Amino acid sequence: MKNDSNSLFSAFGPLLPFMAVVFFGILATAMTLPVIPRHVHDALGQGTTMVGVVMGVQFISAFFSRMWAGHVADAQGPRRVAVMGMLAAASTGIVYLVSLQFADRPQLALALVIAARLLTGMAESFLITGLLAWSMARLGPAHTGKVLGWVGVAIFASFGAAAPLGVALHERFGLAGLAIAAMLIPLLPLVGVMLMHVEKPGTHERPRFLSVVRDVKLPGLGLMLCSSAYAMITVFAVLLFVQRGWGGGALALTAMGAGFIVARLLFGHLPDQVGGARVTLYAALVEALGLAMIWAAPGPEVAWLGAALGGGGYALAFQALGVEAVRRAPPQSRGAAMGAYVAFQDIAMAMAGPVGGVFAQAMGLGSVFLVGAVSAAAGMWVAVRLMGNGSPGSPPSRG
């Protein structure tokens, strides 16, 4: 494959250290995802509602901490944000360990688990915001799409590796062993981060965070619509397979992940070349088509293909809308812009489960995916608005 300056792969080498930091940081927090719901339900004796609360508080924490992370990245530099994220990730393991000391006091143990989940949201938002801001400072705003593409691949690869690793560690060493691993893994890249070069933050006056939110609200709205559709697959796909009597529900999530990565590798260079708004128009269409295929699927094969298209469309929409968000923010506030932009995803992910549950109860489980298709299609309207707003359909400025 040709490795010119326009190729996605031309950025792989410069971004590899940042990708490694993101991979290990997310790995530590994501390893506990398949284990904590059972721990809360079985060991702590809580119902499914509380399990949902425990797993959902992460998004609340992530939403608010992204604002903090973006401000710190712009004012004090992205290295500080990345280090804070790794330390927060390590702290989750410590809190889980402490919670195990109160097995005879389940309410206190539950409170500590919730605290660990809140730390998880903070850790992930600081890591991702810091490393995105650092990567963009290294490559420049003209390569924002490549940065979002490769960092996203690292995040998705980390989530993919985390689940089986977490289950294996839990089966072998119990939750205590898993917590110790979660405590130690984020510290692995810490020395490397301290040695990596980082540009000093500028001394320009920075706008208030709410001003940055206004700058990125239109790309953020597009992200929220596309993220809602994506969340319908992650939350409800396995349940749909069970209800329809199909095997291989977990393969829908695998297909979605494969679609995500393949789309990034094949088309991840396009937002920088042809403009984020134009890519979003087609990416949202593909995502909507994928969700509609799941809704109308006569068998599992069509649903798997729909999940792959949904994942691929979402991968490019997230990346392309991020390019538009960065273009609309002042240069001295790009860290805050990334934090504000991804916060729209947090809102969507937090709302998708309850909203989808309402539609599932009222109209049947399949309707959830039709709602997701409509949500993704609405992202096309945002893309059209973006193309008519300051000619954002053209490639970003390289000045």
pLDDT of the chain, 399 residues: tens digit per residue: 444 556 667 778 888 888 999 999 999 998 888 788 888 888 888 886 787 678 778 878 888 887 788 778 777 888 888 999 999 999 999 999 999 999 889 899 999 999 999 999 999 989 988 888 888 888 877 787 888 888 888 887 888 788 788 888 999 999 999 999 999 999 888 877 887 766 665 555 555 656 777 888 999 999 999 999 998 888 788 788 888 999 888 788 888 888 988 998 899 889 988 889 999 999 999 999 999 999 999 999 999 999 999 999 999 999 999 999 888 877 667 677 777 888 888 888 878 778 888 888 889 889 999 999 999 999 999 999 998 875 443 444 333
CA torsion sign for 47, 48, 53, 58 is: positive
Which pair of structure tokens corresponds to residue 49? 């509602």
Domains defined along the chain, listed by start: 8-195 (1.20.1250.20), 209-387 (1.20.1250.20)
DSSP string spanning 176-221?
A: HHHHHHHHHGGGTTHHHHHHS--PPPP-S----HHHHHHHHHHHHH
Residue 115 identity (one-letter amino acid):
A
CA atoms of 18 and 127, how far apart (whole Å): 10
CA atoms of 45 and 191, how far apart (whole Å): 40
CA torsion sign for 350, 370, 318, 149 is: positive
Which pair of structure tokens corresponds to residue 215? 């700058």
| pTM for this prediction | 0.76
Look-up of token digits 């399949």: 366
Which pair of structure tokens corresponds to residue 174? 């119990």
